[in-house]
């Protein structure tokens, strides 16, 4: 199945499933429509179900509140079955978060993540950029803490979650093995960056691949929550999908699958049935003429 196809993470020896699991919603109130995170037992059921499908890419962050702890408790005993990615720089303070990119804060955050995740090593540690990202890059304290964690064996690979000029600068630093980029039929801004990463052997992990829920069946009940620009794009894409929300999502997933520069696409959910449905939707064949029309609408 396409979603379970494994792709190399850039020039590293890591291999991850095309479809990955974004663990934001299992630990933090988030999402289009119902934003309430699930109870712990429900979250653990989803996590184990994700691994049972064959998905081996799990992405979390210290800022996702209970996510890391739930991963550690729920599937820490199955650690050999998945590639584990987390993030540092944005920190949890229920029910909000705060940013601290100092060396001390980042080093401490990595140690805390290791403990919560019940693991001796995190496969990919990424900078969770926020306000004043340029200062984070210029100061270099976050990268230094991450590099030292890598040297100590606490972290296997390094990455950054960002886009635009900051992402270009991160690629230029030459220390990152992967970039996490917001990219979808709704947002193709960093298409050139993805191509550059592929050329340089930098892995690309996609966040926002289904437009943060706007390219899924869920959007049909929440069109009034979209701003005018997003509503216009979604409406046009829905017309191509004959008003079918599942077909809309199938288009969005196949668009990403066709990109050889994309290593893995993170799809978050607090519902195991949705995870399984996502895998099935990627199997739908989309007529290339329809895809071409979708691309013309979103340039």
What does the pLDDT look like over 76-85, one tens digit per residue? 999 999 999 9
Overall domain count for the chain: 1
Query: Each residue of 280-290: pLDDT tens digit?
Result: 999 999 999 99
The Cα angle at residue 126 between residues 121 and 128, in degrees rounded to 5: 135
Q: What is the pLDDT of residue 78?
A: 98
For residue 173, being part of any structural domain is answered with yes
The pLDDT assigned to 156 comes to 98
d(CA 233, CA 274): 23
Inside any domain, residue 296: no
117 is a domain residue = yes
> pLDDT at position 298, please?
85
Classify residue 103: in a domain, yes or no: yes
Parent domain of 35: 2-211+264-271
Q: What is the largest CA-CA distance in the chain?
A: 54
Q: Is residue 43 part of a domain?
A: yes
- CATH number for position 178: 3.20.20.100
* φ, ψ dihedrals at 62, nearest 5°: -65, -25
User: Which single residue is written with the structure tokens 């193709």?
Assistant: 188
For residue 266, give the nearest of 203, 223, 220, 218 by alpha carbon: 203
Q: Please list the ranges in the chain whose pLDDT falls under 50.
A: none
Say if 82 falls within a structural domain.
yes
Residue 255 included in any domain: no
Distance in angstroms (rounded) separating the CA atoms of residues 1 and 242: 25
Is 51 inside a domain boundary?
Answer: yes
First to last CA, the chain: 29
Q: String of b and e for 206-237 (b: at least 16 CB within 10 Å)? A: bbbbbbbbbbbbbbeeeeeebeeebeebbeeb
């Amino acid at each position: 199945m396409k979603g379970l196809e494994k792709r190399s993470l850039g020039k590293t020896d890591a291999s991850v499933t095309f479809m990955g699991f974004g663990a934001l919603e299992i630990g933090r109130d988030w999402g289009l429509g119902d934003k309430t995170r699930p109870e712990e037992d429900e979250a653990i059921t989803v996590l184990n179900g994700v691994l049972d499908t064959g998905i081996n890419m799990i992405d979390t962050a210290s800022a996702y509140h209970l996510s890391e702890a739930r991963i550690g408790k729920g599937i820490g005993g199955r650690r050999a079955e998945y590639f584990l990615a987390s993030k540092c720089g944005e920190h949890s303070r229920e029910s909000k978060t705060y940013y601290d990119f100092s060396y001390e804060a980042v080093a401490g955050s990595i140690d805390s993540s290791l403990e919560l995740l019940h693991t001796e090593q995190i496969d990919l540690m990424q900078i969770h950029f926020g306000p004043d990202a340029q200062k984070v890059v210029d100061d270099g304290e976050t990268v230094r803490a991450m590099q030292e964690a890598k040297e100590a064996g606490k972290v296997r690979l390094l990455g950054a979650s960002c886009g635009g000029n900051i992402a270009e600068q991160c690629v230029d630093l030459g220390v990152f093995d992967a970039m996490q980029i917001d990219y979808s039929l709704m947002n193709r801004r960093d298409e050139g960056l993805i191509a550059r990463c592929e050329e340089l052997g930098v892995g690309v992990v996609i966040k926002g691949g289904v437009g943060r829920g706007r390219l899924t069946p869920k959007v049909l009940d929440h069109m009034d929550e979209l701003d005018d620009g997003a509503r216009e794009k979604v409406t046009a894409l829905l017309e191509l999908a004959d008003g079918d929300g599942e077909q809309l999502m199938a288009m969005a997933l196949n668009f990403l699958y066709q990109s050889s520069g994309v290593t893995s696409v993170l799809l978050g959910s607090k519902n195991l049935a949705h995870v399984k449905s996502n895998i099935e939707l990627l199997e739908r064949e989309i007529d290339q003429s329809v895809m071409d029309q979708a691309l013309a609408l979103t340039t």
